[in-house]
Each structure stands twice: as C-alpha cells, then as structure tokens.
Structure 1
C-alpha cells in the first residue's frame, strides 16, 4: 500500500474505545477476502486461467469490526487486467473506508507464428498456432487463426512471434487503374460490364469505378479479385 493509501485508511479510522479487544478489530483477512471476491467476480465467466494477487494492508492498520457486510467497488477507469484499485467501505454503526489494490494476470490462447515468415508472405494455416500467453502485457492480438489466414505480413517475422494487427497488412484485390468486371444483379437478371477502378480496394470495401461504355462513375463493392458488385 502506498503512503497516500495508508494516510487515507488511517484518517478514516474510527477511534476505538479504551480496552477494545482483538476481536473488536476487522481482520485484514476479511478485508483482503472481500477485495479478492470482488475482483474475481468479473473473471469467473471468462473461462480463462487467471491469477489474482491482492496487496497486503499495513499491519499497523486497525479498523473497528463492521457489523454489516463490507462494500467493495472498483475505482472508475479500472481494467480487468493488471493493476486494479478498489474502495472498501464499512457502512455499519462505526463506518470506515480505505483503498486496496490487486494485480490480475490472465492467460489467453493467442495466435503466434509456428514458422518464420518473410516480408509480404501470405499466412497459411500451417504457419500459425495457438499458444498460451499472459494477456496482461499484450497490446492487441488475435484469438482465432482464421482472422489472420491469407493476410500478408508487413515485415519479416521470427517463429514464435505473437501476431498483432500492426504485423499485418491488407490484400488489395483491386488496384487503381485496373480493368474490372462491374456486376449488377437481382433475383431476375444479372448484367456484367467492363470498368476501370479509380482507387485500390480490399474485399468488402466500396470503391469508385468508371463504366468503360458510358464513362459514368459509379460506386460498388469489391467482392473478389477484379469484380465489383453494384446495385441495379
């Protein structure tokens, strides 16, 4: 506990009457247990492996035994991983409050490279695997190999690298100036015509194309390599 937290806890202490016995003090174990229960309540449903370390209280701290269940709440902006700060309050006949801390480590299955890849290589199913890592230190990452299959790597990467969004680049199915097939269809008919892409495009992205016959500029969605779908 930091010096600031110690001061807050000690200032909030209700002065005990002379001759108070040890049984009249709130045990540190009960306070730490309440903090652990609150932090763990948000993790049980994840199905992931986790470890919670609750910071001990100053052993000199003595607080009156609370005659009501302790109230524990996370401080605003606290995440589920790493350092977690909480407030602990007694709202009984001798109220008091203090701040506590815990540190959470969460293990998750993340996508990592099984083999080294050179810059620009497309990721194949055999190039990746799921490995268990401490998610506390991860800044992003992928949890499903399907999210990275077929995507090119932005730079050369070593085997064992945990893949992050910054490691990948997108595949341009259509490039500016490329001749494309403009396809318009509904339940009754389908029409295809030649066009020229005016911008690069990824799968599912909407881009502008010029109809070669009419010279009209229209917008459509990239659905495959060299094919643009437009509404009839």
Structure 2
C-alpha cells in the first residue's frame, strides 16, 4: 500500500480517498465558487493497490484538471516507480432540463424547464445553470422530456421580423434621436440587423433592443 498516501490506512480503499482528497484540493484552488465534487477511479479494480512509497508521491496531470475523465501520473522517488492512472472528477450542479417535449421552432416557456442535479462531467456538449438562460429561446430541433439543454439545441428567438415597422434610435453623448424605420431582416435581442430609415431611405445597421426598437451607436 502507498505508505505516505495512507499512513493510518486499515484497508485498500484509503489510498483512493487520500489521492482523491489531493485532486479535490487542486480543483478547489482553480474555482472561486463552492461546488459539490468527488473523485472516483472507475477503470481501476477494487483490489488494485499502489506500491509502497516512503514519501508522498507527486501528482502530474496529463492535461488541465476538468470535470469528467482525467489522466494523472503518480511518481515515487523512493523506491522509484511511476504509475499512470485514470480518474473521474464528478462536479454536481443543477442544470436546465426539459420537463415537456419541445417541437422544432417552439419557444421555451418557464413551464417547459426546471433545474435538476447532474454530474456535469458527463455533459460534454455543455449546459445551462439558470432558467433565464434558456426561457424565451427557440428550439433548433425537436427535444424529448428529460433532455439536458445544451447550447447546440437552442438559439435566441427573433423578436423583430423582416418588413415590420421599428423605431430607430440614434444615441450619442448628450443626444438622443428617434425616427421611423423598417426592418429588412429578422433579428433577436442584441443582434445587429439591417434597417431602412423611412424618411431618408438610407440603409443602416442597428442593434435590436426590443420587439420594435433598434439602436445605432
């Protein structure tokens, strides 16, 4: 058994606990928020034991530590040995999950989603931590109940349609002018779209601020 890793160990699982604690300490040093986390070694036999080491083995990460699967290299100086191990870093967080099936093009409403605890290391496509991040978005394809919502599944819904009347706001320090215009393209909140000044017929690029309001900076 790795002596320095578990000097008071009474069973073979203690080196895992000690090594896991060191990994968790490294992870906590990388994040500013408190998170529910744990480490497991799913690919290692329960009977596997580390060789003895008179000093605490050093830990080298194969890549920057992240939720999910990680590779590490344990190195002992006396007696000399090197062990490559795989571990799973579980980071549990509440993420946005569909509570009802959604059709392609449907707008997500508050009753469609809720926050449910998941191991984010298993969510390789990404996730959302707040309902406000997804409510009001448009589904890019049909989605089933229980789906963890990821960025590739939704997009910002258009709130301005091509051809609709809009108010064009020109804002400068100490100056604010509004004029009537027409949207030439669809647009979602924060998007820059082409609009036409109805009086001058000039084509402009403006940011969508609301359902009928755009602004030229």
Shorter-chain TM-score bucket reads 0.7 to 0.9
Equivalent residue for 1:35? 19
Partner of 1:71 in structure 2?
58
Which one of 133, 140, 159 corresponds to residue 173 of structure 1? Answer: 159
Q: What is the aligned partner in structure 2 of residue 111 from structure 1?
A: 96
1:220 to 202, 206, 209: 206
Q: Is the 8 A contact 1:34 1:72 kept in 2?
A: no
Question: Would you tell me which structure has more strand in proportion to its own residues?
Answer: 2
RMSD of aligned residue pairs (Cα, Å): 3.1
SS in 1 for 2:147: coil
| Structure 1: tracts of 5 or more residues without a match | 1-24
Aligned-partner Cα distance in 1 for 2:164–2:49: 75
**Partner in structure 2 of residue 21 of structure 1:** none
Local SS of the residue matching 2:214: strand
Q: 1:48 aligns with which of 33, 36, 46?
A: 36
Q: Is 1:159 matched up with 2:145?
A: yes
Q: Aligned pair in 2 of structure 1 residues 99, 172: CA closer, same or farther (>3 Å)?
A: same
Confirm whether residue 96 of structure 1 aligns to residue 81 of structure 2: yes
Task: Name the SS of the counterpart of 1:157 in structure 2.
Answer: coil
Mapping 1:116-195, distance limit 5 Å: 116-138=101-123, 139-186=125-172, 188-195=174-181
Residues 27 and 198 of structure 1: CA distance in aligned 2, closer, same or farther (over 3 Å): same
TM-score relative to the length of structure 2: 0.75
Q: Secondary structure at the match of 2:181?
A: strand
1:75, distance to aligned residue in structure 2 (A): 1.3
Question: SS where residue 158 of structure 1 aligns?
Answer: coil
1:105 is displaced (CA, Å) by 3.1
Secondary structure of the residue that 2:86 maps to in structure 1?
strand
Q: Residue 83 of structure 1 aligns with which residue?
A: 69
TM-superposed deviation, 1:163: 1.7
CA contact (8 A) 2:35 2:91 kept: no
> 3-state SS of the aligned residue for 1:173?
strand
Counterpart-to-counterpart distance in 2, 1:163 and 1:137: 13
Matched, 1:209 2:195: yes
Residues 42 and 80 in structure 1, CA contact (< 8 A), matched pair in contact too: no
CA distance in 2, matches of 1:225, 1:59: 62
Residue number in structure 1 paired with 2:9 = none
CA displacement at 1:223 relative to structure 2: 0.5
